[in-house]
Amino acid sequence: MIKRRLIIDTDPGVDDAFAILLAASDPQTEILALTTTAGNVGIERTTRNALGLKELLGLNCPVFKGADRPLAIPLEDAANVHGESGLGPYVFDHVPALETSELAWDAIYRLAKANPGSTLVALGPLTNIAIALMRYPDLPDVLGEVISMGGTIGYGNTVPYSEFNYYCDPLAAKIVLESKLKVTTVGLNATRQTQLSPDELASLDPQDPVLNRFVRLQREFYWDRLRNLGMEGFHLPDAAAMAVVLEPVLMHAERLPVHVVTDNGITQGWTVVDLRRRKDEKLHQVNVALSIDKTGYLRLMQQINGLKGGHA
Ligand code: RIB
Ligand code: CA
């Protein structure tokens, strides 16, 4: 029985790929669409990767192409983390064509209206969602909720206090977090609690030989890249965000005031979360993830073991 219908907005992206594998492995989840945005790498590559993942996993949902750059600043990608292809050493040698020229923001609104109560899982910069809000002001009335992997409390991964998705398009993050959408932010402060050891990571490998090769290439590349970048541990932010969509009890969140800094430079995309819990709060509040249960996360991620590919 389908318990949730998801629109996944994504910039694949190694951890995006793990998040999509997790969603695809869940029998109670229907993926309505993959909508792509520029972020980890450019829009052509994120869209190619989404189409490739659709075929690899045998997803029967459409892919919709979205924003090729942030709203107001040039794209600064994360190819240094995810590789030039966006999926480490893995390049899809052929992908199905886009089935439609309908753009991501139009599809997000149309699918939200046609599927009341659906959830938008945003795994990249929030550019598509911000554009959808500007084009369709009643989006908050038709969309169930938005779970956004983004922001952090404390130190970031891109500049001292900012997480990549909100650093990449801070204006889009501000527009979405200050809108009437029901938003939960799953930031690095929470996703870092799901760090996996090499053995725990290897325990995710699918039995399906084609998926097994894809997953092993991703994790081996990502592990080495994070090590070389001096980043502590190994965690998959987008997969952690997807896990709390599938199993909300894994997350503890609180409704808190969040201000997104849109100045360019060292504070760009900083999410200033007010933990003082004041009574006379004026700032707009969103649900902010404060913790994720790592044991439950690992158990859920191991669903990927049994995933059957639809590979061509
Ligand atoms: O900061 C982590 C986020 O930025 C993840 O979504 C990752 O895919 C990158 O987009
Ligand atoms: Ca991502």
**What is the position in ligand 1's atom list of the atom closest to the CA of 12?**
8
The pLDDT of residue 271 is 98
Ligand 1 near 86 CB (within 6 A): no
Q: Whose CA is nearest to atom 10 of ligand 1?
A: 124
Position of tokens 């020229």?
Answer: 101
The fraction of the chain above a pLDDT of 70, given in percent, is: 99
The CB-side HSE value for 240 (13 A sphere, CA atoms) comes to 27
The pLDDT of residue 280 is 73
Q: Calculate how far, in angstroms, residue 249's C-alpha sits from the geometric centre of ligand 2.
A: 23
Q: Spell out which residues have Cβ within 5 A of ligand 2, the ion.
A: 11, 13, 16, 123-124, 238
For the chain, what is the mean pLDDT?
A: 95
CA distances (Å), 259 to each of 130, 135, 190, 241, 283, in order? 16, 23, 18, 21, 7
pLDDT (tens digit per residue) in 176-186 = 999 999 999 99
**What is the position in ligand 1's atom list of the atom closest to the CA of 15?**
8
Ligand 1 near 152 CB (within 6 A): no
The pLDDT of residue 234 is 81
Ligand 1 near 287 CB (within 6 A): no
Tokens representing 200? 């725990």
Buried b (16+ CB within 10 A) or exposed e, 239-255: bbbbbbbbbeebbebee
Ligand 1 near 9 CB (within 6 A): no
Ligand 1 near 163 CB (within 6 A): yes
Distance CA 178, CA 197 (A): 37
Ligand 1 near 11 CB (within 6 A): yes
Among 179, 194, 221, 161, which Cα is nearest to 17's?
A: 221
Least confident of 2-11, 229-238, 248-257: 229-238
Q: Calculate how far, in angstroms, residue 20's C-alpha sits from the geometric centre of ligand 2.
A: 11
The pLDDT of residue 232 is 66
- pTM score above 0.95: yes
pLDDT at 214 over 80: yes
Mean pLDDT within 39-64: 97
pLDDT at 34 over 60: yes
Q: Is 277 left (phi over 0), alpha (psi -120 to 50) or beta?
A: left
Ligand 1 near 238 CB (within 6 A): yes
pLDDT-derived band of residue 279, with 50, 70 and 90 as boundaries? Answer: confident
Distance CA 67, CA 166 (A): 15
- Largest Cα span, the chain: 57
* Amino acid letter, 129: I
Position of tokens 């994790």?
Answer: 219
pLDDT at 208 over 90: yes
Q: Calculate how far, in angstroms, residue 55's C-alpha sits from the geometric centre of ligand 1.
A: 23
Q: Calculate how far, in angstroms, residue 98's C-alpha sits from the geometric centre of ligand 1.
A: 24
pLDDT at 312 over 70: no
Distance CA 284, CA 268 (A): 19
Q: Calculate how far, in angstroms, residue 280's C-alpha sits from the geometric centre of ligand 2.
A: 35
pLDDT-derived band of residue 229, with 50, 70 and 90 as boundaries? Answer: confident
pLDDT (tens digit per residue) in 66-98 = 999 999 999 999 999 999 999 999 999 899 999
The pLDDT of residue 72 is 98
* Amino acid letter, 123: L
pLDDT at 231 over 90: no
pLDDT (tens digit per residue) in 102-117 = 999 999 999 999 999 9
Distance CA 307, CA 215 (A): 11
The pLDDT of residue 139 is 98
**What is the position in ligand 1's atom list of the atom closest to the CA of 164?**
1
Length of the chain: 312
Mean pLDDT within 231-238: 84
Beta-strand relationship, 251-260 and 271-273: antiparallel
pLDDT (tens digit per residue) in 154-165 = 999 999 999 999
Ligand 1 near 124 CB (within 6 A): yes
Ligand 1 near 14 CB (within 6 A): no
**What is the position in ligand 1's atom list of the atom closest to the CA of 123?**
6
Ligand 1 near 26 CB (within 6 A): no
The fraction of the chain above a pLDDT of 90, given in percent, is: 91
Ligand 1 near 77 CB (within 6 A): no
The pLDDT of residue 311 is 60
The pLDDT of residue 230 is 82
